[in-house]
Amino acid sequence: MGQLARHLQNQFVARTPRGWTCAVEERVLDGQFETLLGHAPQADVLLASNDGRFRLWVEFEVSRADPVANHAKFATAHLFRPQKPTDTFDSMMSTHVARGRRNLATNTVLLMRRIGMKAFQAVLLPTFGPNEIKRLNTDCQDLSSLHLLDVDAEIDRALAVASPCFDSDLHQIHFVGKPPDVACNVATWNREMQTDFGRQLWGHRRLRYFVFDPSSGEFAPSKFCAFLNATHGATSDAETMALPMTMDLYVSLDESERQFDGNRAQRYLTNWLGLVENRARGISSHRTDHDDELQEIRRLWRLEKHEFDDAVPRIHLDAVVEEFPIPADDDNLLRGEDWQILKDVCRDDPMFFELQSSLLDVEREFRGMSRRAGIYEALEDRFKACQFASEQEALEVLQTEGELRKEADHRMNGHWRLCSRSCLKRRRFRLQVLGAWLRIKTASDWA
C-alpha cells in the first residue's frame, strides 16, 4: 500500500462524520472462511452508521495493476457469506489507473450487482491528474502536499455515490460515481434520440445544462447523465442493468419524482465529479427581453410586498446562469437580517410589524425630496389603516356604524336630529379611518 492510501485511511478515521464510525483494514470474512479460502480479505476502510442501518466498505484503488482484485475478493466473500442488506461496496479509483483497467473495474461492478450485491465505483481525487496522483503516492519528500487534500470531500463523495438519491417503484436511483458512467449515459441518449420511439418519448423538453463528451464529440442533458439505475439482483433485466440510464426510465422519473432535478444534477457533476462548467459562446453578453419587467417585479416584491430575501437576482442567476443587473441608483433597502431584527423587536405582532413596514415605506417615498409636502397626511393614513387587523374587521366596523345609524334614524321617527359638533367630528373621523384603510388595502391588492 502506498503512502496516499495510508494517508486516506488515517484521515477517514480522523474526519469521520458525526453519527458514523470508521475502521481500517476491517476483515470481510471470519476465521473459518479465511482458512477455507487460504486468504484473509480486508477492506481499506469501513464506514458504519451508528444506527446500524448502513455500512460502506471502501477500497482505494490508487495505482493498482489489477484493479478488479478487490472486486473479486468481495464477490467471492459474498458467495460464502452473502452481503447483508445494510452493506455496500464502493471502489474509489484514481485517474492514475489506466483507462482500460478502470473500465474493466466498472464492468465488474455490474457483475457484482448481477449476483445480488450493492456495489459502486467512485472517482478518487477527481481534480488530480495521473502524474499528480503518482507523485502524492510515491514522493516521500513531499508529504506536506498530502495534508492539503480535501479528504472531507472524498468522504462526502463516497457516501453520496453509495446512498440512493431516491427509490422508485422498480428502481433504486443513485448518482453516477465516475466519468465512464457519464460517457455511457451520453452515448445512450444520443443513440436513443436517433430512433422514432426515443424522439417520441423525449418530446419537447426545455433544457438548461448539457454534458459534452470530448472523446465522442456528443452532447446530452446533464440530468440524463448524472443518475444511474443501481438495481441489483439476478431477476433484474440484464440489458437495463448494463445502462446507467435509459430514455424510458428518464421519462418515467421526470414525470413522477420531484428529486429528479436538473439543478441538482448540475451541482453534483461539477462539485463532486470534477466536471468543468463552460458557458456557451455568446451567453455572457446575453440580455433577456424582459429586464424592465423583472426590475418592476423586484421593486414590487421588495417595496410593497416586503420580500426580505430579494429573491429575483437569485432566481435570475439560476435560470439564465448570469448575474442579475442591479441598477446603479438601486435603493439601499434593509437586508434580510435587518428585517429579522425588526420582526424580533415587534415580538411577532403582525399588526405592529405591518405598521412599522408601512412607516418605512413612507420614509422611503419622501427620501431625498427638498419639500416634503403631504408627509404628515401619509403618516396619518398609515396609522389609521393599521387600526384594523384585517379587511373583515374594517367591514364589520363599517356595518356596525350603519346599523347604529339606521337605529338612530328609526328612533327619531323621521325627525331631524340636532347633533353636537363633537358628535359630527367623531363620526367624520371614523369614516376617514375606514376610507383610508380601504384605499390602502385596494392599492395593495392591485399591486
Q: Which residue has the higher pLDDT, 262 or 408?
A: 262
Name the residue among 110, 111, 105 with its Cα closest to residue 243: 110
Q: Do 137 and 67 fall within a single domain?
A: yes
Query: Is the predicted pLDDT of residue 212 greater than 50, yes or no?
Result: yes
Q: Do 170 and 158 fall within a single domain?
A: no
Count of domains observed in the chain: 4
Q: Which residue has the higher pLDDT, 226 or 293?
A: 226
User: H-type helices in 170-290, by residue range?
Assistant: 179-193, 196-202, 222-226, 238-241, 247-256, 262-271
Q: Do 79 and 112 fall within a single domain?
A: yes
Return the C-alpha cell found at 364: 422611503
Q: Do 153 and 4 fall within a single domain?
A: yes
DSSP code for 194: T
In whole angstroms, give the CA distance from residue 40 to residue 29: 7
DSSP readout, 70-110? HHHHHHHHHHHSPPPTTEEEEEEE-TTS-HHHHHHHHHHHH
Q: Do 112 and 168 fall within a single domain?
A: no
pTM for the whole structure: 0.59
- Mean pLDDT, residues 324-352: 69
- Mean pLDDT, residues 201-225: 88
Q: Do 303 and 445 fall within a single domain?
A: no
Reported as a pLDDT band with limits 50, 70 and 90, residue 22 is: very high
Segment 83-125, tens digit of pLDDT:
899 999 999 999 899 888 888 888 898 889 888 899 999 999 9
Name the residue among 106, 103, 71, 101 with its Cα closest to residue 89: 71
Task: Dihedral sign for Cα 415, 418, 422, 428, please.
Answer: positive
- Which residue shows C-alpha cell 513531499? 142
Q: Do 67 and 183 fall within a single domain?
A: no
Return the C-alpha cell found at 137: 503516492
Reported as a pLDDT band with limits 50, 70 and 90, residue 163 is: confident
Q: How many beta carbons lie within 10 A of that of residue 120, not counting itself?
A: 25
Q: Do 46 and 98 fall within a single domain?
A: yes
Q: Do 127 and 184 fall within a single domain?
A: no
Q: Which residue has the higher pLDDT, 176 or 354?
A: 176
The residue out of 280, 298, 319 marking a domain boundary is 280
The residue out of 107, 140, 163 marking a domain boundary is 163
Q: Do 319 and 361 fall within a single domain?
A: no
Query: Is residue 307 within 8 Å of 301, Cβ to Cβ?
Result: yes
Q: Which domain holds residue 348?
A: 337-367+374-410+419-447
Q: Do 75 and 154 fall within a single domain?
A: yes
Query: Is the predicted pLDDT of residue 424 greater than 90, yes or no?
Result: no
The residue out of 104, 139, 163 marking a domain boundary is 163
Q: Do 138 and 38 fall within a single domain?
A: yes
